[in-house]
Structure 1
Amino acid sequence: MSEGREALSGAIAGVAGGDRAALKTVYRLTSAKLFGTIIRIVPERERAEDILQDVYVKVWRRAGRFDGSKGSPITWLCTIARNTALNELRRDGRKVEPPADTLPEVEDSDALPADEWLCAMEESQALARCLQELSGDQRRSIRLAFFEGYSYSELAKKVDVPLGTMKSWVRRGLAGLKGCLGG
């Protein structure tokens, strides 16, 4: 286990024990990465900052649930951030479109930099490699669904394919990722 991962796991364990200083450590080590995860889904800065605060309230309440044997601490935290941002969009019943200059990425078949894929560098490199092994349609669909927060129906409409086709692309792509990542 890397030093950073170990430090973060220890801090989360401290948060689980009610240690406020440990929460400060978790915040210091992760706030920039988690904010980046949130702002890609909710590009309104003030709203994203509010969501980030909600994420750390959830971390305070749920730290005891973290199990380092099931994944890295940063992945656990990014999942909380992503789900909180997506839930906020769904609660409001609206989808925030990314700025117009990001829309061409839908057609981009090149790999994005590793830090775009996951918060943890070691996992992002493996994921980027595995994503490159998928078809372009699967790769773009997974990226938009999991990193931009689009639903199946929104994706199908966006790329003008039937809903069943979109679900199939994502399902096959996830199966391919699972096999490639050894899951």
Structure 2
Amino acid sequence: MQTPQDNEKLADWLARSAMQDRQAFARLYEATSPRLYAVALRVLQRPAWADEVLQESFVSIWHNAARYRPDLAAPMTWMTQIVRNRAIDWLRGSDNRLDALDPEVVETWVDPAAGPSQRLSDQQQASRLQDCLEHLPAEQRQCVVLAYQHGMSHAELATHLTRPLGTVKSWIRRGLDHLKGCVSA
């Protein structure tokens, strides 16, 4: 939890960064990068992607430090929002990184303590689910993956996808209905 003194330091470093003070920006980076990396990693689930997004986010923070308004948000809140938005943009990127679930996540669907026949059945079901996900329209797949693999709430999805909450809920519901029918077929 940030103390008022921490917020004052961060706000000062942001203000000085807005004036192109590289030392203040370095201090800001040292003080906040571990927490901001954790935010990126939570959304992206891949360390390499989180590293990339963190660096892009700090470039954005450097260029937009003058836009920070301490009367609207705490410094960490403002920077966290930049990282989260950047991470969501990364997932929505032109190479459609949400085409399929992360293979490491699919592996976690198989119970290692199960017997050989149960593991085979679990692997087949996981593979079937992944195939079914690939046949969803992009918006539905993106919502389902972000909600269930990355733990985002419907409200968070609506905010980050800049879509109405009802639309996001509909996409998730239709996606889950399709998956239910596809997996059981």
Check whether TM > 0.5. yes
CA deviation digits over 1:18-65, x for unaligned, max 9? Answer: 001111111111111111110111111111101111111001100000
CA offset at residue 145 of structure 1? 2.8
In structure 2, C-alpha distance between the alignment counterparts of 1:28 and 1:146, rounded to whole Å = 32
In structure 2, C-alpha distance between the alignment counterparts of 1:19 and 1:32, rounded to whole Å = 21
Long gaps (5+) in structure 1: 103-139, 162-183
SS in 2 for 1:67: coil
CA offset at residue 142 of structure 1? 3.9
Letter in 1 for 2:57: V
In structure 1, C-alpha distance between the alignment counterparts of 2:97 and 2:41, rounded to whole Å = 16
Matched, 1:93 2:109: no
What TM-score comes out, normalization by structure 2 length?
Answer: 0.57
1:97/1:21 Cα in 2 relative to 1: closer, same or farther (>3 Å)? farther
Contact 1:40 1:147 survives alignment (8 Å): no
Matches within 5 A, 1:135-154: 141-142=153-154, 145=157, 152=168
CA offset at residue 93 of structure 1? 1.8
Percent of residue pairs bearing the same amino acid type = 27
Letter in 2 for 1:7: K
Contact 1:16 1:63 survives alignment (8 Å): yes
Matched, 1:16 2:28: no
Matched, 1:155 2:158: no
Q: Larger radius of gyration, structure 1 or 2?
A: 2
Contact 1:41 1:147 survives alignment (8 Å): no
Matched, 1:76 2:78: yes
Matched, 1:64 2:81: no
Long gaps (5+) in structure 2: 110-151, 179-185
Letter in 2 for 1:23: F
Matches within 5 A, 1:100-111: none
1:17/1:93 Cα in 2 relative to 1: closer, same or farther (>3 Å)? same
Letter in 2 for 1:156: R
SS in 2 for 1:33: helix
1:148/1:70 Cα in 2 relative to 1: closer, same or farther (>3 Å)? closer
CA offset at residue 147 of structure 1? 10
What TM-score comes out, normalization by structure 1 length?
Answer: 0.57
In structure 2, C-alpha distance between the alignment counterparts of 1:147 and 1:41, rounded to whole Å = 14
Matches within 5 A, 1:95-134: 95=98, 97=101, 99=105
Number of residue equivalences = 124
The answer to which of 86-95 and 151-160 deviates more is: 151-160
Cα RMSD over matched residues? Answer: 3.2
